[in-house]
Amino acid sequence: MPTRASLPAAVAPLTVECLHSLVENRTVYALDGFELNVFETHQAAHRVQLRLDGLALTTMLRGKKVMHLPGRAAFDYLPGESVVVDKDELMEIDFPEACLCQPTQCLAVAIAPDTIRHTVDLLNERYPRAEAHQPWTLQQPEYAHLTNTPELTDTLGRLVAVSRTTHANKDVLASFTLQELLVRLMQTQARQLIFHDYARYLTSHRFAAVVDYIKQHLAENLSIDKLSALACMSKATFFRVFKREFGITPVEFIIRERLSEAKRLLRHPLASVAEVCMRAGFNNLSYFQALFKKYEGVTPGAYKKQMVA
């Protein structure tokens, strides 16, 4: 679903008097197995070079960057997004809108190779993915630029909070949270791989066929019996492995896809909320309105007014 997750727990920008530099001022929290960096830029700048020790998950909190990575076209980097950067990969960054009154702010979690290897090995040994030929891994450069999921955002927020505390056991707590972050990151990459690029994997990944069927039959009754049969799994196994691989249940995925379709339909000036409810696969108007308000923060009617105003 394309809706952006809310940001991790905000880190208050530093006052100008506390800055060492107006461009990529760096605050570091060093813990066992990783290093949390907070970068702030308070003036416009172009082609600022940066390298990080270890593979890093970077996440935009405020403002806008333009990222230049080796072998890729430049792209806008906005709040609610993350970029996975390989060890020692050179980043060149533009800050077209940064100023003292509106600084950019970005998190970068640089993770030790042993920490990544331990988590990936543990997952592949105990909790393998649905397809044996596609093991858990973070080395997916094609899916390095991500829209954060709510689950990834929540884990990032908790990692920031524990890293900044003075608790005696902070390294232990941070270690558990970091391991969860790595799992959430791989699940987010798996969602991007299968949920958004499923057509490429229809013959090689059983969940790609499930996603294709769901998207083609959103307005119909989608039973877990049918979906598990498409995946050649029992219902219990299908439910368990789907959630393990993507971080959400099949039912949650269906709801998010139907809400995404409902948002698309609501943008049409002549479509009524009741009509959209039925066409998006919801057979109860009150239930649809409650779900829409829960996920989007506004009612379907209010969303429609915003979009067609």
The secondary structure of 96-157 as a DSSP string is: SS-BTTB-EEEEEEEE-HHHHHHHHHHHHHHS--SSTTS---S--GGG-EEEPPHHHHHHHH
5: closest CA among 198, 219, 114, 151? Answer: 151
Residues above pLDDT 90, as percent of the chain: 81
> CA–CA separation, 43 vs 298, rounded Å?
35
Handedness of CA 284, 287, 291, 297 (dihedral sign): positive
> CA–CA separation, 154 vs 159, rounded Å?
9
> CA–CA separation, 135 vs 121, rounded Å?
10
Which SS3 state, helix, strand or coil, does residue 200 take? helix
User: How many other C-beta atoms lie within 10 A of the C-beta of residue 264?
Assistant: 14
Dump pLDDT digits (tens) for 167-188: 888 999 999 999 999 999 999 9
Q: Which of 6-10, 19-23, 138-142 has the highest mean pLDDT?
A: 19-23
- The residues with which 109 forms a beta bridge, in sequence order, are 36, 57
What's the one-letter identity of residue 307? Answer: M
Residue 61 in this model has a pLDDT that exceeds 60: yes
Taking residues 224-243, report their average pLDDT.
96
Instruction: Choose between 258 and 134: higher pLDDT.
Output: 258
pLDDT score for 34: 94
Dihedral of CA atoms 286, 292, 294, 295 in degrees, nearest 10, equals 160
Taking residues 175-204, report their average pLDDT.
93
Lookup: tokens for 25? 């001022």
**1 pLDDT tier (thresholds 50, 70, 90):** very low
In eight-state DSSP terms, residue 87 is T
Rounded to the nearest integer, the mean pLDDT of the chain is 91
**Domain 199-309: assigned CATH number:** 1.10.10.60
Report pTM: 0.85
**97 pLDDT tier (thresholds 50, 70, 90):** very high
User: How many other C-beta atoms lie within 10 A of the C-beta of residue 51?
Assistant: 11
Fold of 16-195: Jelly Rolls (2.60.120)
Residue 309 in this model has a pLDDT that exceeds 80: no
Cβ pair 276, 300 in contact under 8 A: yes
Domain borders along the chain are 16-195, 199-309
